[in-house]
Amino acid sequence: MPFQSLRLSRRHLLGLLPLGLLFGTAESAVEATSELSEEDRVLVAQHANQQIPGEGTFSLDIPEYAEDGHFVPLKIWSEGSVAAQERVVRFTLIAPRNPNQEVFTARFTPLSGEAYIQTRIRLATSQTVIALSEDARGEVTMVTKYVRVLVGGCNVAPDQGN
């Protein structure tokens, strides 16, 4: 028998564990972001004047893989003109699988110059992060990106005033 000589030790099996986590449970990021769920569409419509927005002319830079959901860096910036009517007045970030789904809203005035924000957020689990942008005309656009989180960042109970 050719397989009789194949012996795996516990050390070898533990060495293969990361490969199993990476490939065994991985779903394609393209599949994950191809369609928003009905719940996500309702959530987006609540923030987008009761409509499902089109693709945005702004960028969302967030890692595809986050080892720790407590500190996930992100950048959002507008690639459009800063003309009066096309100026971005608001960015909203939504994480549908977080306990608090609206992560933040950043508002910009004409004195803000460019619409740019860089921060860190918490993500509870792997999910499609949704960024919305509203211009001065009230038009809302959307950019989505699937982020795979290894260790969730929202499992700590909120401070009870201690």
CATH code for 29-151?
2.60.40.2470
Q: What residues contact residue 12 under an 8 Å CB cut-off, 6+ apart?
A: none
Q: Which secondary structure element, helix H or strand E, spans residue 18, and what is its range? A: helix 10-19
Q: Provide the 10 A C-beta neighbour count for residue 124.
A: 17
E-only strand ranges, the chain: 54-55, 58-61, 65-68, 72-78, 88-94, 102-107, 116-121, 127-135, 140-151
pLDDT on residue 41: 82
One digit per residue, the tens of pLDDT, for the chain of length 162 reads 454 555 656 665 556 555 454 444 444 333 344 467 888 888 888 777 767 777 777 899 999 999 988 999 999 998 766 666 678 999 999 999 999 999 999 999 888 888 999 999 999 999 999 999 998 888 888 999 999 998 877 765 545 444
pLDDT on residue 27: 43
What one-character DSSP code corresponds to residue 30?
H
Backbone dihedral angles phi then psi of residue 44, each to the nearest 5 degrees: -65, -45
